[in-house]
């Protein structure tokens, strides 16, 4: 097997590095194993021989019906071929601004170079020197021009394809705030970031990851604010990835996590540009992936995951109250079924007497012990929830509500479960929707079941042991070097203003302190608003 292509360092024009290995790793990588399936892209450069070049490319793209080879004559004289992939190219522009110009007899005298400089009305043109550069360019939708007598090809920036319109992200809707979300086209996403942070300090570094998918991945950060160690770490980890295809940013997430066995997410994913930019302003790094609207913001802490962007758009007193409610309900969604099982099975003296009597009465006909009942109901609820996700919107809502009500009611009447249990499960379900990030909610849902088992075997002590284990895990967890429980542990009093409450904007003087950071102060202090101050 011929060795696959060399690394092209510093070739910015194509918009990316190649993800191929250098030196020893290549032969062990997945490339060689898959080499047969992707078609050998020989390492050869293009030659001046136009026909040979075209022939090479034809062989590479054998059996690809959507690759179009259009031979023509420049100025009626020079042999040339333009190669493009249908569907990825703006054919209209190709025709008018390129083919039209080059095929014109007046083009005969001028060299390609001068043609490009004076006649061809295309904004972005780059040289391609080798076969795999051609392939890279073609895959991104850039038509490639190969001409007789030219040892380099020209890639034209005429990519255009149908893309989804910018819509409100469905998973992160808000009452107040921008309603734009990222899209699958990375260019558009980057442009959205640029529109919000109109500063040259916003740096975008590009990578291509995935041997078969060559997905474009962009790292965005604000120079001077971002923490350099985190940035280096992000780059390092992304470069380490060897995989055949990246379909979603979650692939990247799983490959660059600190603790792969932890149920807790160590990156924050968001579809909203404003969330991403708020992360950038705090000194974090945003990773965008082609093909998915979900961007990753790293590093993240548990408390950052429990915040919703809308907290910052509502009035701060309201937001503080909602935050507290959210913390309470997150705790409830983890603990409520376990507490119910523990109290009813081990600590019955905690229940007020009249309530206990009522519960005892309602449990008379139930055949299961409290633990089994709880597990049954929780599992049923999870099933209902998961099933409801796949249903079409109209049917889904009706089925879930009606289903839950009817099933719950019927179960109680049949004496399979007791009414208090249904209430507990319902409250738990509602509580789990309070978690703003779906993934954290998932983690908590998963953890609920071991907690119930612990509660059923050791009562309140079991719950405490479970909480201790979770706490130890969280205490040891880091996201790109930042402790996961920061700023509560290690305690950073200055940052608590964004965790315990939501400080008003005039009090948010400093950025979160992730590691040593120069630009901690984000705005001048002392800006509390009031009646008009004396004019100076």
Partner 1 sequence: MRKHGLSLSGIALMVSILFLGGCWDRSEINDMAIVTAAAIDKLDGQSIELTLQLFIPKALGGGSGSGGGAPSGGQQLTFVRSGKGLNIADAASKLQARLPRRIFWGHCKVFILGEAFAREGVKEEMDYLFRHPQPRERAFMFVSQGQAAEMLRPVPPLERYTAEVARELSEQKIGIRVTLKEFLEMLDGEGQAAALPYLRLQPPQKGEKKNQSVPFIAGTAVFKRDKMNGLLTMRTTRGALWLRKEIQKASITVRLQGTKREFITMTPIRQRIEIKPRIHDGQWIIHVHIHTVGDLVQNGTNLDPMNPDLLHLMEQAVQRSIADRVEEALDRLQRNLNADIIGFGESFHRAYPKPWRQARERWDELFPKVQVRMDIRVNIRRPGLGSVPAAVPSDEVKEK
Partner 2 sequence: MTAMLEKGKISAVQMSFLLYAIVIGTVIISVPATIGKHAKNDLWLSPIWASLFGMIAVGVSIGLHRMFPRLTLIQSLSRIFGRIPGKLLGLAYLVFYLILNGHGIRLYADFIVGTALPSTPILVLMATMIFVASVAVYGGIEGIGRSSQVIVPLYVLTFLIIVLLLLPDAKPNRLFPMLENGIVPSLKGAVTPQGWFAETLLLSFILPCLSDSKKAMKWGLAAVLAVMTTLVLANLIILLLYGNNVSRYVYPLLSATRYISYAEFFENVEAALVAIWVLGNFIKFSIIQYAVVLGTAQWLELADYRPLVWPIGFVMLLIGFWSLPNQMVLTQYSSTVFPYYSLLFQTILPLFILFVAFLRIRASRGGPTSG
**Residue ranges that bind partner 2, judged by CB under 8 A:** 343, 346-347, 349-350, 352-353, 458-461, 463-465, 467-469, 471-472, 475-476, 483, 485, 488-491
Asked if 375 is part of the footprint of partner 1 (rule: CB under 8 A), the reply reads no
Q: Are strands 125-128 and 153-156 parallel, antiparallel or unpaired?
A: antiparallel
Structure tokens of 25? Answer: 């790793």
Instruction: Specify whether the CB–CB gap between 276 and 190 falls below 8 A.
Output: no
Among 330, 370, 499, 514, binds partner 1 (CB under 8 A): 370
The set of residues, in sequence order, having a beta carbon less than 8 Å from that of 346 and lying 6+ positions away, is 458, 459, 460
Which partner from the list partner 1, partner 2, none does 363 bind, CB cut-off 5 to 8 Å by kind? partner 1
Instruction: Specify whether the CB–CB gap between 370 and 341 falls below 8 A.
Output: yes
User: Most distant CA pair in the chain: distance in Å?
Assistant: 101
Q: Which range of residues in 124-132, 425-433, 447-455, 526-534 is near partner 1 by CB under 8 A?
A: 447-455
Instruction: Specify whether the CB–CB gap between 369 and 457 falls below 8 A.
Output: no
The distance of closest approach from Cβ of residue 459 to partner 2 in the complex, given in angstroms and rounded to an integer, is 6
What does 423-471 look like in DSSP terms, one character per residue? HHHHHHHHHHHT-SSHHHHHHHHHHHHHHHHHHHHHHHHHHHHHHHHHH
CA distance 48 to 305: 56
Among 6, 52, 317, 360, binds partner 1 (CB under 8 A): 360
Which partner from the list partner 1, partner 2, none does 460 bind, CB cut-off 5 to 8 Å by kind? partner 2
Indicate the residue among 391 and 471 with the shorter CB distance to partner 1. 471
Indicate the residue among 43 and 361 with the shorter CB distance to partner 1. 361
The distance of closest approach from Cβ of residue 303 to partner 1 in the complex, given in angstroms and rounded to an integer, is 20
The distance of closest approach from Cβ of residue 137 to partner 1 in the complex, given in angstroms and rounded to an integer, is 39
The distance of closest approach from Cβ of residue 323 to partner 2 in the complex, given in angstroms and rounded to an integer, is 17
Asked if 21 is part of the footprint of partner 1 (rule: CB under 8 A), the reply reads no
Structure tokens of 496? Answer: 């608590």
Inter-axis angle of helices 316-345 and 419-433, to 10 degrees?
A: 150
Picking from 89, 328, 286, 301, the residue whose alpha carbon sits closest to that of residue 202 is 286
Which partner from the list partner 1, partner 2, none does 259 bind, CB cut-off 5 to 8 Å by kind? partner 1
Query: Token match 């479970």: residue?
Result: 466
Which partner from the list partner 2, partner 1, none does 358 bind, CB cut-off 5 to 8 Å by kind? partner 1
The distance of closest approach from Cβ of residue 465 to partner 2 in the complex, given in angstroms and rounded to an integer, is 6
CA distance 227 to 282: 10
Asked if 160 is part of the footprint of partner 1 (rule: CB under 8 A), the reply reads no
Q: Is 354 exposed, middle or buried (0-12, 13-18, 19+ CB in 10 A)?
A: exposed
Quick one: which H or E segment has residue 353? helix 353-363
Among 314, 418, 428, 486, binds partner 1 (CB under 8 A): 418
Instruction: By CB under 8 A, name the binding residues for partner 1.
Output: 258-259, 344-346, 348-349, 353, 356-366, 369-370, 412-415, 418-419, 450, 453-454, 456-459, 472-473, 476-478
């Amino acid at each position: 097997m011929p060795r696959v292509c060399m690394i092209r360092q510093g070739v910015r024009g194509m918009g990316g590095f190649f993800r191929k290995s250098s030196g020893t790793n290549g032969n062990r990588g997945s490339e060689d194993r898959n080499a047969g399936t992707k078609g050998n892209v020989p390492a050869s450069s293009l030659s001046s021989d136009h026909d040979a070049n075209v022939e090479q490319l034809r062989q590479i793209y054998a059996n690809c019906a959507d690759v179009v080879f259009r031979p023509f004559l420049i100025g009626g004289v020079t042999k040339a071929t333009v190669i493009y992939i249908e569907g990825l190219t703006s054919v209209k522009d190709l025709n008018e601004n390129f083919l039209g110009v080059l095929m014109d007899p007046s083009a005969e005298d001028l060299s390609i170079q001068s043609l490009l400089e004076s006649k061809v009305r295309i904004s972005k043109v780059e040289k391609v020197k080798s076969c795999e550069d051609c392939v890279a360019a073609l895959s991104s939708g850039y038509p490639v021009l190969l001409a007789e007598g030219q040892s380099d090809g020209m890639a034209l920036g005429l990519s255009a394809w149908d893309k989804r319109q910018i819509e409100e992200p469905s998973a992160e809707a808000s009452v107040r705030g921008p309603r734009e979300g990222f899209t699958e086209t990375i260019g558009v996403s980057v442009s959205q970031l640029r529109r919000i942070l109109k500063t040259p300090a916003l740096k975008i570094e590009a990578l291509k990851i995935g041997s078969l998918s060559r997905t474009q991945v962009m790292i965005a950060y604000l120079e001077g604010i971002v923490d350099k160690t985190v940035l280096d770490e992000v780059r390092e980890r992304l470069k380490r990835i060897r995989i055949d295809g990246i379909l979603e940013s979650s692939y990247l997430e799983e490959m660059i996590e600190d603790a792969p066995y932890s149920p807790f997410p160590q990156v924050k994913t968001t579809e909203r540009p404003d969330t991403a930019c708020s992360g950038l302003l705090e000194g974090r790094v945003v990773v965008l992936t082609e093909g998915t609207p979900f961007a990753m913001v790293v590093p993240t802490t548990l408390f950052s995951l429990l915040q919703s962007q809308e907290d910052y758009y509502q009035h701060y007193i309201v937001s503080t109250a909602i935050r507290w409610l959210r913390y309470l309900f997150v705790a409830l969604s983890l603990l409520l079924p376990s507490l119910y099982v523990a109290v009813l099975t081990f600590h019955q003296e905690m229940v007020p007497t009249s309530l206990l009597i009522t519960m005892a009465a309602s449990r008379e006909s139930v055949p299961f012990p409290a633990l089994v009942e709880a597990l049954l109901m929780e599992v049923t609820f999870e099933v209902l929830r998961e099933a409801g996700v796949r249903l079409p919107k109209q049917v889904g809502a009706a089925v879930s509500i009606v289903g839950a009500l009817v099933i719950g009611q019927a179960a109680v009447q049949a004496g399979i479960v007791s009414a208090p249990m249904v209430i507990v499960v319902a409250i738990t379900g509602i509580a789990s929707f309070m978690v703003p990030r779906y993934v954290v909610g998932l983690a908590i849902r998963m953890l609920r079941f071991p907690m119930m088992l612990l509660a059923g075997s050791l009562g309140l002590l079991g719950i405490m042991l479970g909480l201790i284990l979770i706490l130890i895990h969280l205490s040891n967890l880091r996201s790109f070097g930042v402790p996961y429980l920061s700023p509560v542990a290690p305690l950073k009093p200055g940052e608590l203003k964004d965790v315990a409450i939501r400080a008003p904007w005039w009090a948010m003087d400093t950025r979160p302190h992730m590691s040593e950071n120069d630009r901690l102060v984000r705005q001048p202090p002392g800006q509390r608003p009031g009646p008009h101050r004396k004019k100076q």
